[in-house]
């Protein structure tokens, strides 16, 4: 391929195809040439896996203040008041935009016209949903429109390698100019120039051995932003979803929070209910409390899993409200109308990430970020259920508004990717071994319950991995697996550094060495050129 064919120019480059990336693309495409880059296909994202729904103030009986209070309670003192109010006040308009786009939310005869459910940590029914496959319904609706939009160029099976900045080219002032993108099938690195670049790459669940996330959740946006000088905050707060299906053939299948919202009971194998002994809210306590309770009971009794019991509910109700979960469990020989569901906690959501403002701008001009890859201040020390898709939708709208109001800076000539000094990898098994080692020690040492000694062990292993992967990256041609491993190791390092700095237990971060919560809540902000 000629050098000219390796160059692409767009007004806006969006890296990631979940709800944040897709809704931003659609909001911009009428007036901008948009590139949407995704590692697999448009349908492969954590957004598409979301079951429960989207939290929003829609019912006349609900209020912004009530939603704020619930979010603050879950966030354990670390939610930013301005950011939280910004998101919740815009929740209804975000939902109305999705409805206008044709998302088939479940309807009923309520004042708003749509069925609202309740999840753990919420004082009201405010979760709008499409049965128990909300993310999939949203994604399918937007994907169809993305594929047919003449001003959106979709690049599937393409993965971002690194961001291009003026500073790296010796130019001032520094700003983001685009990114180097690997075409996975052709094994070629393309140069994408753009006046505005948006990271919508999702979370980093694959840094852990057990996760509810898709394979694409490798911390790419967080690592890339860090490498170009952006601050990262609150990475110690990794949400472990309490109820991932425990079955050898059920890879990363989530059992929605909504089941507990509709009366699900957590039991030990002998049928004993245990949540009331851990929290007065029992099964409706916030996720961090439920996850720690399950972890405690599993360790205390030497269990592989606990059980979520819905058998006291009518079979017709379960099949109507949870058809996806019912069908998937039935495929695996579990009839949820007659049998309790075996569940375990699993890494689910990163509450920290790249620091952004209320316009989704990062520290680097020209670079935006939206969705799970960010730290906006909304989630605090623990995300309230179903606030994640809401954050994606609201900040996609905010980014679109800012980009539309910003002039397009002319781009300087951009250099092509240089691989003249590297060779083909001789032993790619090294990548697989490092990947397995990373995910296992992160699970063992930086999981639901942490100690200073465990974090030190993780830090030591990460130092060795960073050196080994750095040498590998410098000497061999890049591949999808190498890019993801490099990003995972960087993200894991940020998680460990953040956890070591928090000398208390708060929200999702629980330390046996510091079991008390300090009277003042402070964010953990890491600076690339200082930490």
129 and 204 co-located in one domain: yes
User: 180 and 133 share a domain?
Assistant: yes
Q: How far apart are CA 221 and CA 45, in angstroms?
A: 14
Q: Are 499 and 238 in contact (CB under 8 A)?
A: no
Residue 176 and residue 364 in contact, taking contact as beta carbons nearer than 8 Å? yes
- Identify the pLDDT of residue 427: 66
Among 404, 419, 439, residue at a domain's last position = 404
Q: List, for residues 10-27, the tens digit of each pLDDT value.
A: 999 999 999 999 999 999
In a domain, 97, yes or no: yes
Strand partners, 233: 353, 525
> Among 118, 287, 454, 461, which one carries the catalytic annotation?
287
* Measured torsion, CA atoms of residues 55, 59, 62, 67, in degrees rounded to the nearest 10: 10
Q: Are 7 and 193 in contact (CB under 8 A)?
A: yes
**2 in a structural domain:** no
**Residues 150, 65 share a domain:** yes
User: What pLDDT is stored for residue 408 in this prediction?
Assistant: 82
Q: Are residues 72 and 12 in the same domain?
A: yes
| Domain count along the chain | 3
The confidence score (pLDDT) of residue 24 equals 98
> Could you tell me whether strands 127-128 and 54-55 are parallel, antiparallel, or unpaired per DSSP bridges?
antiparallel
Domain that holds residue 450: 429-514
- In a shared domain, residues 43 and 70: yes
The CATH number covering residue 456 comes to 1.20.58.100
The backbone torsions φ and ψ at residue 36, rounded to the nearest 5 degrees and listed phi first, read: -115, 115
Inter-residue contact 213 to 228 (CB < 8 Å): no
Q: Alpha-carbon distance 457 to 201, whole Å?
A: 29
* Nearest CA-CA partner of 479 in 279, 185, 262, 73: 185
Contact indicator for 90, 97 with CB cutoff of 8 Å: no
Could you tell me if 97 and 231 lie in one domain? yes
3-state SS assignment for residue 306: strand
178 and 152 share one domain:
yes
Q: CA geometry: angle at 519 spanning 513 and 523, to 5°?
A: 80
Same domain flag for 257 and 225: no
Q: Are residues 80 and 185 in the same domain?
A: yes
Q: Are residues 441 and 300 in the same domain?
A: no
Least Cα distance to 288 among 218, 236, 252, 248 occurs for 236
Asked if residue 309 is part of any domain, the answer here is: yes
pLDDT the model gives residue 489: 97
Query: In 29-103, which residue ranges form alpha helices assigned H by DSSP?
Result: 46-49, 64-74, 81-89, 91-100
Half-sphere exposure of 330 (CA within 13 A, CB side): 11
**Catalytic: 287?**
yes
Regions in the chain scoring below 70 on pLDDT: 1-4, 46-51, 425-427
Give whole-number Cα distances, 523 to 76, 236, 424, in Å: 12, 10, 43
Beta bridge partners of 188: 183
Looking at the structure, tell me whether residues 315 and 382 fall in a common domain. no
On whether both 151 and 284 belong to a single domain, the answer is no
Helix axes 429-445, 452-475, angle to 10 degrees: 160
Q: Is 362 contained in some domain?
A: yes
Quote the pLDDT of residue 20: 96
Q: Provide the sign of the torsion angle of the four alpha carbons 56, 58, 59, 64, taken in this order.
A: positive
CA angle 331, 132, 145 (to 5 degrees): 110
Strand order in the sheet with 127-128: 54-55, 127-128, 116-117
- Please name the residues in contact with 297: beta carbons below 8 A apart, sequence gap of 6 or more: 268, 274, 303, 306
User: What pLDDT, on a 0 to 100 scale, did the predictor assign at position 181?
Assistant: 98
């Amino acid at each position: 391929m000629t050098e000219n064919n390796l160059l692409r120019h767009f007004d806006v480059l969006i890296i990631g195809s979940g709800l944040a990336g897709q809704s931003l693309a659609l909001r911009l495409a009428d007036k901008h040439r948009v590139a949407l880059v995704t590692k697999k296909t448009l349908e492969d994202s954590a957004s598409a896996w979301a079951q429960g729904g989207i939290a929003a103030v829609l019912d006349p009986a609900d209020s912004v203040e009530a939603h704020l209070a619930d979010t603050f309670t879950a966030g354990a003192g670390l939610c930013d008041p301005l950011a939280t109010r910004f998101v919740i006040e815009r929740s209804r308009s975000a939902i109305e935009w999705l409805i206008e786009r044709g998302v088939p939310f479940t309807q009923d005869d309520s004042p708003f016209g749509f069925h609202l459910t309740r999840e753990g940590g919420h004082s009201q029914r405010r979760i709008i949903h499409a049965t128990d496959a909300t993310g999939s319904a949203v994604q399918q609706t937007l994907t169809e429109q993305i594929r047919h939009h003449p001003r959106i160029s979709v690049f599937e099976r393409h993965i971002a390698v690194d961001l291009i900045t003026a500073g790296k080219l010796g130019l001032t002032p520094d700003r983001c100019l685009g990114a180097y993108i690997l075409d996975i099938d052709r094994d070629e690195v393309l140069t994408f120039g753009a006046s505005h670049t948006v990271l919508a790459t999702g979370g980093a669940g694959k840094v852990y051995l057990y996760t509810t996330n898709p394979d694409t959740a490798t911390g790419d946006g967080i690592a890339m932003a860090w490498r170009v000088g952006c601050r990262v905050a609150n990475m110690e707060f990794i949400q472990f979803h309490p109820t991932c299906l425990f079955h050898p053939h059920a890879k990363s299948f989530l059992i929605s929070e909504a089941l507990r919202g509709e009366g699900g009971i957590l039991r030990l194998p002998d049928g004993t209910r245990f949540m009331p002994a851990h929290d007065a809210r029992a099964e409706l306590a916030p996720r961090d409390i439920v996850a720690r309770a399950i972890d405690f009971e599993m360790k205390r009794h030497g269990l592989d899993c606990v059980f979520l019991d819905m058998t006291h509910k009518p079979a017709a109700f379960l099949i109507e409200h949870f058809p996806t979960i019912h069908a998937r469990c039935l495929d695996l020989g579990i009839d949820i109308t007659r049998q309790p569901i075996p569940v375990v906690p699993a890494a689910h959501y990163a509450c920290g990430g790249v620091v952004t403002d209320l316009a989704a701008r990062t520290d680097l001009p020209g670079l935006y970020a939206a969705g799970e890859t960010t730290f906006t201040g909304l989630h605090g020390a623990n995300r309230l259920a179903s606030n994640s898709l809401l954050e994606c939708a609201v900040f996609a709208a905010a980014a679109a508004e800012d980009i539309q109001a910003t002039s397009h800076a002319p781009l300087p000539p951009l250099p092509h990717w240089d691989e003249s000094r590297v060779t083909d990898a001789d032993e790619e098994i090294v990548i697989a071994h490092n990947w397995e080692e990373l995910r296992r020690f992160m699970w063992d040492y930086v999981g639901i319950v942490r100690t200073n000694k465990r974090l030190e062990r993780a830090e030591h292993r990460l130092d060795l991995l960073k050196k080994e992967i750095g040498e590998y990256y410098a000497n061999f041609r890049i591949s999808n697996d190498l890019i993801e491993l490099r990003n995972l190791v960087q993200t894991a390092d940020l998680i460990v550094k953040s956890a070591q700095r928090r000398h208390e237990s708060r929200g999702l971060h629980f330390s046996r060495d510091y079991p008390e919560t300090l009277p003042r809540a402070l964010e953990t902000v890491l600076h690339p050129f200082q930490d």
